[in-house]
């Protein structure tokens, strides 16, 4: 009778079969059943190359400072987003909210730069003017005296109507003497009708005389006359045309005139 020994890795012999899928024996041979069971288990595993995982697979969560080839879990992503948002208010903690706040302008940086390009550069003068009142600005640019002079200026559109002391103004510009009858002429009382100067005749009264014109030899029937006696002995006649609102005729004559 031949005695057969068990086979091993170094000698021939009888090999026993086993359907166990968890054995680590080197003296047993796997049956097709065991192989089938192992293959069924293998089919439930994802391949190493581009695995398509299903369900809710888990993985170790890397530190938030990780920057290698670790798998980014949901917890890791949430931590990084929270770190990115930081202390931003709730109204600005999403990309949409940020986009809305920027006016949905894809060229926001260029827009801001263009607006800044149109601004006056900051310098010491502008800093000194910042926050000043109107009076402070006037003092800073030295316009106080100019404004004070402008406040006392006459308006061109008033044509002299805003002169407070018109007689004094006339005197100051040399239009009338500072003393004498000319200044008092506006206070003269009429002496009634005066005879007109004719030829080389002279008036009988002396000084500055205001008279009236009533059909007594003057070119106009009605009016007033100022007679200045002296060497020239002249007259200024302001007549009335006889029509309401019509231009008034004026005449000047000296006794030196012969006609």
Q: What is the mean pLDDT of residues 109-117?
A: 90
Of 216, 238, 214, give the one whose Cα is nearest residue 225: 238
Q: What is the mean pLDDT of residues 85-97?
A: 82
The rounded mean pLDDT for the chain is: 82
Q: What is the mean pLDDT of residues 34-52?
A: 87
**pLDDT-wise least confident of 148-157, 174-183, 237-246:** 174-183
User: Which residues touch 20 (CB under 8 Å, ≥6 apart)?
Assistant: 28, 34
Q: What is the mean pLDDT of residues 226-248?
A: 83
**pLDDT-wise least confident of 25-39, 58-72, 232-246:** 232-246
The 8-class DSSP code of residue 186 comes to G
pLDDT band per the 50, 70, 90 thresholds, residue 183? very low
Q: Is-contact 219 198, C-beta < 8 A?
A: no
Question: By percentage, how much of the chain surpasses pLDDT 90?
Answer: 12
pLDDT reported for residue 192: 78
Q: What is the mean pLDDT of residues 120-130?
A: 76
Residue 221: CB atoms within 10 Å: 13
pLDDT reported for residue 197: 77
Q: Is-contact 253 234, C-beta < 8 A?
A: yes
User: Which residues touch 88 (CB under 8 Å, ≥6 apart)?
Assistant: none
Q: What is the mean pLDDT of residues 50-73?
A: 90
Q: What is the mean pLDDT of residues 175-196?
A: 61
pLDDT reported for residue 185: 43
Tell me: pLDDT of 153 over 90: no
**pLDDT-wise least confident of 50-54, 167-171, 234-238:** 167-171
List the chain domain ranges. 13-41, 87-119, 188-254
pLDDT band per the 50, 70, 90 thresholds, residue 177? low
User: Which residues touch 6 (CB under 8 Å, ≥6 apart)?
Assistant: 13, 14, 15, 16, 27
Q: What is the mean pLDDT of residues 63-87?
A: 88
Q: Is-contact 216 195, C-beta < 8 A?
A: yes
Rounded to 5 degrees, φ, ψ at 157 are: -70, -15
pLDDT reported for residue 181: 47
Q: What is the mean pLDDT of residues 7-36?
A: 85
Count of residues in the chain: 259
pLDDT band per the 50, 70, 90 thresholds, residue 91? confident
pLDDT reported for residue 232: 73
Q: What is the mean pLDDT of residues 128-157?
A: 83
pTM value is 0.31
């Amino acid at each position: 009778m031949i005695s057969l020994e068990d086979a091993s890795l170094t000698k021939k012999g009888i090999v026993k079969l086993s359907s166990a899928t968890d054995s680590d024996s080197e003296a047993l041979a796997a049956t097709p059943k065991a192989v089938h069971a192992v293959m069924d288990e293998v089919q439930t595993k994802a391949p190493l190359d581009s695995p398509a995982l299903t369900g809710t697979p888990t993985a170790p969560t890397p530190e938030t400072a990780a920057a290698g080839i670790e798998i980014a879990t949901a917890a890791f992503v949430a931590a990084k987003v929270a770190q990115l948002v930081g202390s931003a208010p709730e109204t600005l903690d999403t990309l949409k909210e940020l986009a809305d706040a920027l006016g949905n302008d894809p060229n926001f940086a260029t827009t801001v730069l263009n607006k800044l390009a149109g601004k006056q550069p900051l310098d010491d003068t502008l800093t000194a003017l910042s926050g000043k009142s109107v009076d402070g600005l006037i003092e800073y640019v030295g316009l106080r005296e100019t404004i004070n002079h402008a406040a006392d200026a006459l308006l061109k559109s008033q044509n002299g109507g805003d002169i407070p002391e018109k007689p004094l103004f006339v005197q100051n510009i040399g239009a009338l003497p500072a003393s004498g009858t000319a200044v008092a002429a506006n206070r003269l009382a009429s002496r009634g009708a005066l005879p007109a100067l004719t030829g080389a005749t002279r008036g009988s009264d002396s000084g500055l005389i205001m008279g009236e014109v009533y059909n007594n030899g003057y070119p106009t029937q009605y009016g007033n006359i100022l007679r200045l006696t002296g060497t020239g002995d002249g007259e200024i006649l302001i007549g009335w045309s006889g029509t309401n609102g019509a231009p008034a005729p004026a005449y000047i004559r000296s006794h030196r005139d012969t006609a």
